[in-house]
Chain A
Amino acid sequence: MTNENCERVKGLLGDLLSRDLTSDERRMIEEHAASCAACATSYRALLAARSLLREHRPVDDAPPEELRAALHRRLVEERSVPEEERASFLGWPVRTLLGAVACLFLFLLGYWTVTSFPRQTEDAPVAISRSVVNAKEPLTIRLTYTAERPITEVFVKIRLDEDIVFHTEDLSFRELREYEWKGDLKAGRNEIPFVVEMRRAGTRTIHTTAEFEGYRHRHDVELHADGETMTVTYLAYGRVPL
């Protein structure tokens, strides 16, 4: 008799998470459970599971910052390493010279065009990263090339819009609107750091180009200052043949 009831009770127990049982059904389970230890424990376990499902708080926390950072890194890598390329160009941020403000890793300014995307053209850049810094402090930008092998005769040009100046003690340098660098890249990382200041609120651009091996690669750093803060956006353009 008990076994027969067991089967019927188990059927009801199987529905316990799916629907509200009727009072008759509940009474039947409880009466049976009084004399059947196996069904009694199943019943208790299912009631516990049901209240866990009903009472738990849904997860609602944002992904941690390191996940965002890791994803950003991979997104940039995704853009930056087509097989045929030998060198990749990184733009490094942005750390104020003054004070130990948190270092902003807007990293990888450069990348080359990946075939699965529409080719960037000279007039359609894509934004690689964006961050907000203190507008009142000088901004360090490191143009960083990582080259898999030495590359000779690289020509890098940095041109500042008006209202942006190089931040330096050397007054003659302060007057410069344009800085040119010619040289060879060694295998590994090559950095060209420079520091700028924005003299008034507004949107201005630092234009950089790097020419080597028959192509010009253009990357811009757009500065949008509104008094207190400055938004720094790294933009990349498609490479063009020289």
Chain B
Amino acid sequence: MVERARGGDIVAFESLIRAHETKLHAFALNLSGGRRDLAQDLLQEALLQAYRGIASFRGESSFSSWLWRILRNTLLRYRERKGMAIETSWEKSSAVGDTRTPSAEESLILDDRLRHLRTLISLLSLDDQEVLTLIDLQELPFEEAARLIGIPVDRLKPRIFRARQRLAELVMKHKDLFL
């Protein structure tokens, strides 16, 4: 199947990603702070990149960690391109006195506080965001998350520890959002 997808076979490629798409969709949603439209753009872009680059997939890593890296890099490029866009939209959506009801489209997160928490996570560095997304939002086992990121488990544990500390600092800074 990988061989056929490598030759540009669209049907083969689509069935390859079918097994991963729910997880990737969740990653994209979490990486984008729960914003559905952004998540879909990211995912589509990442999968297109994957299709273009599948000839370079050598099977050294698992297909899912290869896809994860592409998705992560897509988000990185998005952040570079948009600069502070994520921050800006957060300021807007969480400004005090913002009483507009989120539409079903833009918020699958019914709990506002969970939405704020996701937004705070999306403000962290991509490294922090990555581990928090995989471990705390997606609840992957450490082994699987480490495999996806491509680091040993014993290096993942201090990373998640520090990432949660930085998240805690953000929560204290914006504690009004959680009271």
Residues of A within 8 A of B (CB): 10, 13-19, 41-42, 44-46, 48-49, 52-53, 56, 58-64, 67-68, 70-72, 74-76, 78-79, 114, 116-118, 120, 124, 126-130, 233
User: Contacts A44-B178, A45-B171, A58-B137; is A78 near B51 (CB within 8 Å)?
Assistant: yes
Determine whether the beta carbon of A63 is less than 8 Å from that of B40.
yes
User: Contacts A18-B161, A78-B52, A126-B8; is A45 near B172 (CB within 8 Å)?
Assistant: yes
> Which listed residue (A62, A71, A116) contacts B52, Cβ 8 A?
A116
**How close is A220's CB to chain B, nearest CB, in angstroms?**
13
Give the residue name and chain of the B residue nearest to A15 (CB).
B165
A15 to B162, CA, bound (A): 9
User: Contacts A18-B168, A62-B22, A126-B7; is A48 near B108 (CB within 8 Å)?
Assistant: no
Give the residue name and chain of the B residue nearest to A57 (CB).
B139
For B21, list chain A residues within 8 Å (CB): 62-63, 68
A62 to B14, CA, bound (A): 14
The B interface is mostly helix, strand or loop, or mixed, namely helix
Determine whether the beta carbon of A67 is less than 8 Å from that of B40.
yes
Determine whether the beta carbon of A117 is less than 8 Å from that of B55.
yes
A128 to B12, CA, bound (A): 9
> Which one of B66-74, B76-84, B87-95, B111-119 is at the A interface?
B111-119
Residues of B within 8 A of A (CB): 4, 6-14, 21-22, 24-26, 29-30, 40, 43-44, 47-48, 51-52, 55, 108, 111, 113-114, 117, 136-139, 160-162, 164-165, 167-169, 171-172, 175-179
A59 to B139, CA, bound (A): 10
User: Contacts A63-B22, A130-B11; is A16 near B168 (CB within 8 Å)?
Assistant: yes
For A56, list chain B residues within 8 Å (CB): 111, 114, 137
Give the residue name and chain of the B residue nearest to A76 (CB).
B10
**How close is A126's CB to chain B, nearest CB, in angstroms?**
4
Give the residue name and chain of the B residue nearest to A118 (CB).
B7
A68 to B176, CA, bound (A): 39
Determine whether the beta carbon of A58 is less than 8 Å from that of B26.
yes
